[in-house]
A and B are shown apart, each in its own frame.
Chain A
């Protein structure tokens, strides 16, 4: 028999799930709401894990929702309770604590899990001294290991691997990133940017090796019987020692429950633009476990957009809300490395379809590139200096027409540089003193009527008597006018 409950049950209390819960409660204070979180603690901001690893903030300081909030807002929060099965026919969620919870709407926000390649040494779970880098628990473990370790090997030169390696180097470890592809962050960066990034990282004590295929995780069993990681083996037979090994080889959507429940799953749980499972109208999915069109969105911003759309729909705030895809912008969080990347960055200068504007200064760690099609931004890399990242992010997000001055896309402040206030180059009509509305022409006229000192000019025109900001300009004008005099004044006043 189908449940008659109107309860909304959320499975997953990570970035997407916790956001949805708070957004929904902001719109609907009444609807019965249960949230399951497999991790025992309050939901936390995964984006900040790199900061925890780097030691900038403590692991207890990255919470997103106060545990007391759930009680105050009448949310049935089951933290540390894993969901083990979904009975779609009876609309019941079964949890590891033996409970069965009926739902009217089920929201899956199970996120993703770290991918650990099936190589020798890692097949039956990671040994001591090795860790994935995905959860707060991973982060705590790595920080603890880092206290005793000297040499870290990070497998994977994507965003998280680089952030982890940078954090560990900052903690005094020797850190090496091993990356299978031909350049770092190959999905977000073009090869030139990857090389500049490697050079920047080298300067920060992070060694990187690209084209490096890791074939095994080597372990030793200590006197206490514990299996410990001691390094990795590469395809060419080389052994790279390390007493801390981080596996940062990407993530996979966590779709186990959905698959077992018979929902259509491609890479993620397939949803429509109302984030509804194409198999079951009572089930929705958001965040990294869901797939809209061909895309599984792996960043927080789209997950939060989905959370808002779903809260609008289920909270009755906006029945017309839709998720129709999102643009993804990547930002590396590593001290000493500024990097923003978005969209299609791989186009070359010779591609006739697009306009590419580039600036490279590898020695200083700067690489900037924007890719433009039909006058709109379709991709960008800012490495080393990200002063225009905010502007580019907004132009990219909104698919907005670009400023005609392309240079301003790469360099902040070149747009609308202030005109020279050198007295010589200033036209007569130019306003010298805003506060009293005095032009250069008026000051010149005042001089021509016989004023010879700054004080005379100020008394006659009131220039510089407001904010005082033009005092230097007035002094400069008077000096210049004096220079223009055909003959030196016999006895200047003042």
Chain B
């Protein structure tokens, strides 16, 4: 019963606890965790945060003592029976019985797996392996599809390899200009702002593209405020201006890229006043942004979810990459294009096989050589490994349907809150014959499960994560988990054993990491030269790192891009606008996003008292003029409706948002869920849903008391 992980003593290298990293975003701020009661202290030795932490980080220890922490498995006898405590054996036996029954009746793909970008590399790897050779199902994907997939697809297309930031974060402070498209880092990863602030102190310019004048935009030298859904046109328009003003780097384009002539021609159709009319951004601002980016040797263009979570997200990112390439930025020290990864292990989580089309090491699952390599590591015949499966939303949409999965095993995700058109997702979960959820708190999704497995969390377990820089870091076990819980690795190993799966199934992170190294060897995301010892000694190691004596790769692309011929690719892309435009019935754009004191679906942060105090409930931000026209006053309850549902939220009147747009953060469950409204129109390449723009109408709720 007691596994290796739980018998090991807490890893207390420092006097005040174990040096580890924050449980939340991809910045993975360094912190020391320990003491009684458990305290968090920021680490000075981690470049990402250099002693800084945000409200979420400071209060992270409260997660360890969440009042409703799950410590015993739960099970319901029938779909309509309540969840009741049970033993681990009962819970695991039930899962195995249901999996066996449903796969026997409907085939292997009758069982699906849904993972998360917060899982460690070891877990993400093991979950992918579990799906492919224990369950032998093709039906696995993860919530990172809602997060990083558009940027990943665009970057792979242009550079041949997807590493969020192709440089150490410390390069940012030395930049001459940085443009952030669709990112509110001052709220989503506050210590990141220190790097931008240092850049500005040294004379560098910060440019922010956002439909809202966010906290980040207020700190910028230049804020471009486009209509939601028009970033692609804006980027094409900026490239048009760069060409007109003679700012493109023709030598670089000749030496290091292909395809510019077609892009040059395509952006001929994006002359300034046309783009101004599409985006609402004044042409002089576009011109100034381009000039700022072109004025120095070191400039960066960064995109985040605001630019990426669109039905044309891949093309939108491509438009920004085209601009960066034309200015000669990528593959130069201190310059380039980067994507700001969101989830804690959003980078590593997309590399090791929990994605429907992928095997460890960022290999393609339809590549015979990749299958052969990974099959050899797993000790199976390559034919055992299934082909590509459905992408996240398509997987959720297929649950309980004729040819879709009848059972789902879910780890580290809360799609009832985080998936688009979430009422529909609830309906699909309800149509399953069996749902098992592994989590450490009773999330909204866990509460709908037939079996709930209580897991260890963040500071109670060890493993590795790969932060937004592509730097592989160690999470260390700082405190003992409560009795009764198990790690995800233990759960996977137990289930694999009971299912009679081939191969070895360790529950020790260090052993799993050794296997991951071998499986990733030779792939684009090659971890084979990385060891726990090296990570510790070197303060993290940048992948690719193909051998123990390889120094790691802080700045890929300096000599060549990872494409077959080493050259970066320009790809022409065309503006199409939002999948759902505004009309008479739904006249206002809705965009969604985050607030500082909450994280993702809120399953964790809504259990931390100071964060709840800071951000207690969902709200809709709207301009006073728009509010006045709809009879909405500040603080009043408002019904926001789209073609997919309605949410009830409190109005917050701000002048920092466009007149034609409202904003709702998506961290809350219940009737204020932003994702009741969002549009699951999918990007054709990345299968990213269009979270960032849909059409809504707003109505005040009469204070009759009859409502609710």
A262 interfacial by beta-carbon distance below 8 Å: no
CB pair A66 B53 closer than 8 Å: no
Given A401-B625, A434-B186, A436-B55; A61-B264 close (CB under 8 Å) = yes
B621 interfacial by beta-carbon distance below 8 Å: no
CB pair B274 A466 closer than 8 Å: no
CB pair A400 B269 closer than 8 Å: no
CB pair B628 A404 closer than 8 Å: yes
Binds B, one of A101-109, A199-207, A389-397: A389-397
Binds B, one of A28-36, A253-261, A354-362, A410-418: A410-418
CB distance from B31 to the nearest CB of A (A): 12
Which of B54, B279, B625, B656 makes the CB contact (< 8 A) with A390? B279
Which A residues, 157 to 171, have Cβ-Cβ distances below 8 Å to chain B? none
Q: Which residues of B contact A390 (CB under 8 A)?
A: 276-277, 279-283
CB pair A338 B284 closer than 8 Å: yes
Q: Which residues of B contact A338 (CB under 8 A)?
A: 284
CB pair B187 A434 closer than 8 Å: yes
Q: Which residues of A contact B628 (CB under 8 A)?
A: 404
Given A301-B274, A416-B656; A386-B58 close (CB under 8 Å) = no
**C-alpha spacing A406/B660, complex, angstroms:** 16
Given A51-B244, A64-B268; A468-B52 close (CB under 8 Å) = yes
Q: Which residues of B contact A468 (CB under 8 A)?
A: 52, 191, 193-194, 197
B42 interfacial by beta-carbon distance below 8 Å: yes
Hey, what's the 0/1 contact readout for B35-69 against A, CB within 8 Å counting as 1? 00000001000000001111100100000000000
Q: Which residue of B lies closest to A61 (CB)?
A: B264
Q: Which residues of A contact B227 (CB under 8 A)?
A: 394
Hey, what's the 0/1 contact readout for B213-241 against A, CB within 8 Å counting as 1? 10100110000000100000000000000
Q: Which residues of A contact B623 (CB under 8 A)?
A: 403
Q: Which residue of A lies closest to B281 (CB)?
A: A390
CB distance from B41 to the nearest CB of A (A): 11
CB pair B280 A466 closer than 8 Å: no
CB distance from A225 to the nearest CB of B (A): 41
Given A45-B271, A437-B614, A466-B55; A393-B280 close (CB under 8 Å) = yes
Q: Which residues of A contact B284 (CB under 8 A)?
A: 338, 385-387
**C-alpha spacing A44/B265, complex, angstroms:** 9
Q: Which residues of A contact B639 (CB under 8 A)?
A: none
A99 interfacial by beta-carbon distance below 8 Å: no
CB distance from B617 to the nearest CB of A (A): 15
Which A residues, 94 to 136, have Cβ-Cβ distances below 8 Å to chain B? none
Q: Which residues of B contact A65 (CB under 8 A)?
A: 265
A193 interfacial by beta-carbon distance below 8 Å: no
CB pair A401 B197 closer than 8 Å: no
**C-alpha spacing A401/B219, complex, angstroms:** 30
A321 interfacial by beta-carbon distance below 8 Å: no
B245 interfacial by beta-carbon distance below 8 Å: yes
Hey, what's the 0/1 contact readout for B419-461 against A, CB within 8 Å counting as 1? 0000000000000000000000000000000000000000000
Q: Which residues of B contact A387 (CB under 8 A)?
A: 282, 284-285
A180 interfacial by beta-carbon distance below 8 Å: no
B644 interfacial by beta-carbon distance below 8 Å: no
CB pair B55 A57 closer than 8 Å: no
CB pair B191 A466 closer than 8 Å: yes
Q: Which residue of B lies closest to A65 (CB)?
A: B265
Q: Which residues of B contact A453 (CB under 8 A)?
A: none
CB pair A403 B274 closer than 8 Å: no
A235 interfacial by beta-carbon distance below 8 Å: no
Which of A397, A398, A434 makes the CB contact (< 8 A) with B596? A434
CB distance from B656 to the nearest CB of A (A): 6
CB pair B273 A340 closer than 8 Å: yes
CB pair A389 B265 closer than 8 Å: no
**C-alpha spacing A400/B654, complex, angstroms:** 19
CB distance from A14 to the nearest CB of B (A): 13
CB pair A393 B276 closer than 8 Å: yes
**C-alpha spacing A159/B243, complex, angstroms:** 23
CB pair B265 A66 closer than 8 Å: yes
Given A386-B283, A390-B280, A394-B227; A437-B194 close (CB under 8 Å) = no
Task: Count A interface residues, CB 8 Å.
Answer: 50
Which of B192, B265, B271, B660 makes the CB contact (< 8 A) with A467? B192
Q: Which residues of A contact B90 (CB under 8 A)?
A: none
CB pair B265 A57 closer than 8 Å: no
CB pair B268 A63 closer than 8 Å: yes
**C-alpha spacing A381/B213, complex, angstroms:** 26
Which A residues, 20 to 47, have Cβ-Cβ distances below 8 Å to chain B? 44-45, 47
**C-alpha spacing A388/B51, complex, angstroms:** 42
CB distance from A18 to the nearest CB of B (A): 10
CB pair B55 A48 closer than 8 Å: no
B168 interfacial by beta-carbon distance below 8 Å: no
A185 interfacial by beta-carbon distance below 8 Å: no
Q: Which residues of A contact B401 (CB under 8 A)?
A: none
Task: Count B interface residues, CB 8 Å.
Answer: 59
Which B residues, 255 to 299, have Cβ-Cβ distances below 8 Å to chain A? 261-262, 264-265, 268-269, 271-274, 276-277, 279-285
**C-alpha spacing A340/B215, complex, angstroms:** 31
Residue of A44, A389, A401 with highest tally of chain B CB at under 10 A: A389
Q: Which residues of B contact A401 (CB under 8 A)?
A: 625, 629
Q: Which residues of B contact A400 (CB under 8 A)?
A: 659-660
Given A61-B243, A415-B655, A437-B55; A386-B194 close (CB under 8 Å) = no
A3 interfacial by beta-carbon distance below 8 Å: no
CB distance from B247 to the nearest CB of A (A): 11
CB pair A416 B280 closer than 8 Å: no
B700 interfacial by beta-carbon distance below 8 Å: no
CB pair B282 A389 closer than 8 Å: yes
Q: Which residue of A lies closest to B610 (CB)?
A: A437
B190 interfacial by beta-carbon distance below 8 Å: yes
Q: Which residues of B contact A466 (CB under 8 A)?
A: 52-55, 190-191, 193
CB distance from B232 to the nearest CB of A (A): 15
Given A66-B262, A415-B655; A48-B597 close (CB under 8 Å) = no
**C-alpha spacing A41/B10, complex, angstroms:** 74
Given A338-B284, A434-B596, A467-B192; A403-B268 close (CB under 8 Å) = no
A329 interfacial by beta-carbon distance below 8 Å: yes
CB pair B193 A394 closer than 8 Å: no
A56 interfacial by beta-carbon distance below 8 Å: yes
CB pair A48 B53 closer than 8 Å: no
CB pair B268 A48 closer than 8 Å: yes
Hey, what's the 0/1 contact readout for B653-673 against A, CB within 8 Å counting as 1? 011100110000000000000
Given A329-B277, A412-B282; A403-B186 close (CB under 8 Å) = no
Q: Which residues of B contact A44 (CB under 8 A)?
A: 268
Q: Which residues of B contact A48 (CB under 8 A)?
A: 268, 271
**C-alpha spacing A405/B596, complex, angstroms:** 30
Given A390-B280, A467-B52; A56-B244 close (CB under 8 Å) = yes
CB pair A393 B192 closer than 8 Å: no
Q: Which residues of B contact A57 (CB under 8 A)?
A: 243-244
Q: Which residues of A contact B281 (CB under 8 A)?
A: 390
Q: Which residues of B contact A221 (CB under 8 A)?
A: none
Q: Which residue of B lies closest to A467 (CB)?
A: B193
**C-alpha spacing A338/B264, complex, angstroms:** 25
Which A residues, 465 to 482, have Cβ-Cβ distances below 8 Å to chain B? 465-469
CB pair B244 A64 closer than 8 Å: no
Given A45-B268, A467-B197; A394-B192 close (CB under 8 Å) = no
Name 9 extra pairs, CB < 8 A, besides A386-B282, A403-B625, A462-B55.
A56-B245, A386-B283, A390-B276, A416-B654, A434-B186, A467-B186, A467-B191, A468-B52, A469-B186
Complex A-B: 25 CB contacts under 8 Å: A47-B274, A61-B243, A61-B264, A65-B265, A331-B273, A385-B284, A386-B284, A387-B282, A389-B276, A390-B276, A390-B282, A393-B277, A394-B227, A398-B660, A400-B660, A404-B625, A436-B58, A437-B614, A465-B42, A467-B52, A467-B54, A467-B185, A467-B194, A467-B197, A468-B193
Q: Which residues of A contact B (CB under 8 A)?
A: 44-45, 47-48, 51, 56-57, 61-66, 300-301, 329, 331, 333, 338, 340, 385-391, 393-394, 397-398, 400-401, 403-405, 412, 415-416, 418, 434-437, 462, 465-469
